Amino acid sequence: MKNESVLQEYQPQWSAKVMADKGGLDPLGLDRVSEFIADTLLTGIITQTDRARYYSFYSWALWHIQKEDHPKRYQDFVDGFRRREAFMALASLEDNPGRSPIGVTVTKQFLIQGKADKEINCDFRVLPSNALGGYGQYYAGSLYNLGLRHRPEDGIDRVTPGFGEELANLYHRIAQKSSYVKKCLSRKRRVLIEDFKKSAPFFSLDALLLPEAGLERKKLIELFFGFDQRLASEASTLRRLSLAQMLYIIDQYDKNGFPVNTEKNRKMYPVRNKKGLDWCIVYPPYYYGELWLKDNKSTDYAPPEQFGICHAMWQQFCLHQFFTESLECILSAVLMAIEEKGGSLDVAIVSDELIKPPFLSVIKSFAGKKCDKPADLFKTFRIDCVPNESVSTKMQREISLLHPKNEIAILNLGTSQPSSLAAMAVLLLMVLYLKWRRVEKNVGMNCVAGNVAGKLWAGNFLPLIDDWFDPTLSWKDGLAKLTDFILEQHDRVKYLKGSWESSWIERNERNLLKEQDYDGKWKWRSSRHRNAVSILQDLQFLSIKNNGDMVLTRDGKAILKDVVNDKL
């Protein structure tokens, strides 16, 4: 982020994008910004796509169906696809029982029964709810976004000429060695156990790790890192930088003597007992500019300038997750308050319920002194007016990864009552406000601002709490304004979706009625880093030692060096 010319070169110039609604999982419409950022930076990799060979298998399946089955009707295509996908899932489990291919629960049952019958049934849906299984449910959109498939007027998906067909053919180079292909068993509903066992290693998801799969793996590397000029685009550049920065962060942990570990149940700076990859390689380096090593130890993280815009955008992803948590906690507090009142609550007294004890005690515990008004809270950071760019930048540095009053510390406060949850939410908003109210020169925030017009995010919300500096504003009035905004946003999203599942609160004249619980399990949106890291492992850029430590391979270090030095 040091070289402005480098940032300008890679600064995205996106066109407007319409995000699909997600039913009842997004009460305040906050998913749109999260998904916009993640879609832009990791195009083609979503939360359910975590194995590299699925991309080549599905390309092959589309190609092979046209080559062997010549489907005239859509149902013919569906039938041929179902048999091939089921065989691949069965083969992956046979080759490695510890793996979990899509539809693993159903597939295990058919594999057990097939071994007992000495004949494997390959005519079943790996996902009963979708006729095209994992492809229809997850991968079809990813293959389309990566330019691997298209859909002609007959409605039957086909692999794209050029790169898509090349990838399919490289998969076929391995698959054609199997009895399944040699004997045209893809046309059969059942396969003899001997043919199945001989064919399984060629179709397994883990086959990508075999030496003979080198060309297929190389083609997938070209796909994900955007080396092929036919696939070159702004999206491919940003995906390459995102993947390379993941490698860089993992390597930096290793160089600091605290490698990322996938097995040990060690604390990774948990948020309400959350542990995992994001709290190691996402939030510490991107948001705080640090690597969290252990307990109270961290070290500074400074990305190479090549990663500037990518780093800045992931920082905004993290900011949006903290912002999402704060607003959805207010919604959760309101729901809890309604439930405590028997399922109905007068809208005029919502804020009265939220400032009941222990609201002020939670605020006091955090601030170290009594704060009777919102303005008093800002004084704990020696701020008494709307911060300028210099102050916001200073606050970003000061409220660091190990700061006792940072976002993570706030999220670890007790939340058993509506009032304590409301206190946690306003504390989180206050810290975010101090850090991000005035950051006109922040490249990442400017990129988001230019592409999410009309969407709710920190940039257009934080100015709404400028009046917290008003010495006459009480907590009751401040929370009343905040809850009114939340309720209006909830209703706006609900009516936009036109779905009962999108409603948590209904209004009956002056009363608020609780429609359903919001237990918070959807609050932390996936950064897709776990899925991307799994793909990087399949591409042999990462390896896991016997003790669970994750380290870069020789190939991983080589490609990272090439990306950083801009040799690609």
Q: What is the pLDDT of residues 380-436, one digit of tens each?
A: 899 999 999 999 999 999 999 999 999 999 998 877 899 999 999 999 999 999 999
Q: Which residue has the higher pLDDT, 215 or 274?
A: 215
- Residue 513, pLDDT > 90, answer yes
C-beta of residue 225 within 8 angstroms of C-beta of residue 559: yes
| pLDDT value of position 6 | 38
Per DSSP, the residues of 287-338 read: IISEEEEETTEEEE----GGGHHHHHHHHHHHHHHHHHHHHHHHHHHHHHHH
Does residue 476 lie within any of the structural domains?
yes
Residues 261 and 164 occupy one common structural domain: no
Does residue 153 lie within any of the structural domains?
yes
Q: Which residues form the domain of 193?
A: 53-225
Instruction: Judge residue 54's burial from the number of C-beta atoms within 10 Å of its C-beta, 0-12 exposed, 13-18 middle, 19 or more buried.
Output: buried
Structure-block tokens of residue 377 = 């809270």
Q: What is the pLDDT of residues 294-336, one digit of tens each?
A: 878 999 999 999 999 999 999 999 999 999 999 999 999 999 9
Give how far Cα 262 sits from Cα of 185, 277, 408, 461, Å: 39, 8, 22, 37
Does residue 10 lie within any of the structural domains?
no
Distance CA 229, CA 568 (A): 11
Taken as a whole, the chain contains a residue count of 568
- Percentage of the chain with pLDDT > 70? 92
Query: Can you tell me whether residue 429 is helix, strand or coil?
Result: helix
Residues 128 and 235 occupy one common structural domain: no
CA angle 276, 281, 285 (to 5 degrees): 135
* Bond from prior residue into 259 cis (ω within 30 degrees of 0): no
- pTM of the predicted protein model: 0.92
Using 50, 70 and 90 to split pLDDT, how confident is the model at 23?
Answer: very low
Where is the domain boundary, 194, 225, 256?
225
- Residue 274, pLDDT > 70, answer no
Where is the domain boundary, 157, 192, 225?
225
C-beta of residue 32 within 8 angstroms of C-beta of residue 16: no
| pLDDT value of position 167 | 98
Residues 254 and 282 occupy one common structural domain: yes
* Residue among 524, 564, 24 nearest 276 (CA): 524
Q: Which residue has the higher pLDDT, 169 or 9?
A: 169
Using 50, 70 and 90 to split pLDDT, how confident is the model at 487?
Answer: very high
Residues 95 and 242 occupy one common structural domain: no
Mean pLDDT (whole number) for 54-78: 97
Distance CA 346, CA 388 (A): 39
Does residue 405 lie within any of the structural domains?
yes
Sign of the dihedral defined by the CA atoms of residues 88, 90, 95, 99, in that order: positive
Residues 387 and 484 occupy one common structural domain: yes
Distance CA 437, CA 83 (A): 55
Structure-block tokens of residue 235 = 């999206």
Sign of the dihedral defined by the CA atoms of residues 420, 421, 422, 428, in that order: positive
| pLDDT value of position 13 | 46
Mean pLDDT (whole number) for 50-56: 97
| pLDDT value of position 228 | 77
| pLDDT value of position 550 | 95
Does residue 519 lie within any of the structural domains?
no
Q: If you average pLDDT over every residue of the chain, what do you get?
A: 91
* Residue among 457, 408, 455, 418 nearest 330 (CA): 418
Residues 424 and 548 occupy one common structural domain: no
Does residue 11 lie within any of the structural domains?
no
Residues 426 and 356 occupy one common structural domain: yes
| pLDDT value of position 296 | 85
Distance CA 93, CA 203 (A): 10
Q: What is the pLDDT of residues 346-386, one digit of tens each?
A: 999 999 999 999 999 999 999 999 999 999 999 989 999 99
Does residue 14 lie within any of the structural domains?
no
Residues 207 and 59 occupy one common structural domain: yes
Structure-block tokens of residue 463 = 């100015």
Question: For the chain, what is the domain count?
Answer: 3
Query: Can you tell me whether residue 190 is helix, strand or coil?
Result: strand
Distance CA 246, CA 290 (A): 14
Mean pLDDT (whole number) for 454-479: 95
Helices (DSSP H) in 374-474: which residue ranges?
374-378, 389-398, 407-411, 418-436, 443-449, 458-461
C-beta of residue 175 within 8 angstroms of C-beta of residue 147: no
- Percentage of the chain with pLDDT > 90? 79
Where is the domain boundary, 174, 209, 225?
225
- Residue 561, pLDDT > 50, answer yes
Residues 74 and 144 occupy one common structural domain: yes
| pLDDT value of position 18 | 37
Residues 156 and 259 occupy one common structural domain: no
Using 50, 70 and 90 to split pLDDT, how confident is the model at 14?
Answer: very low
| pLDDT value of position 5 | 39
For 258, residues 6+ apart whose C-beta sits below 8 A from its C-beta are: 291, 293, 294
| pLDDT value of position 442 | 87
CA angle 316, 558, 225 (to 5 degrees): 50
Mean pLDDT (whole number) for 133-144: 96
Distance CA 166, CA 219 (A): 8
- Residue 8, pLDDT > 80, answer no
Residues 330 and 456 occupy one common structural domain: yes
| pLDDT value of position 414 | 73
Structure-block tokens of residue 483 = 């809850």
Does residue 397 lie within any of the structural domains?
yes
Residues 425 and 282 occupy one common structural domain: no
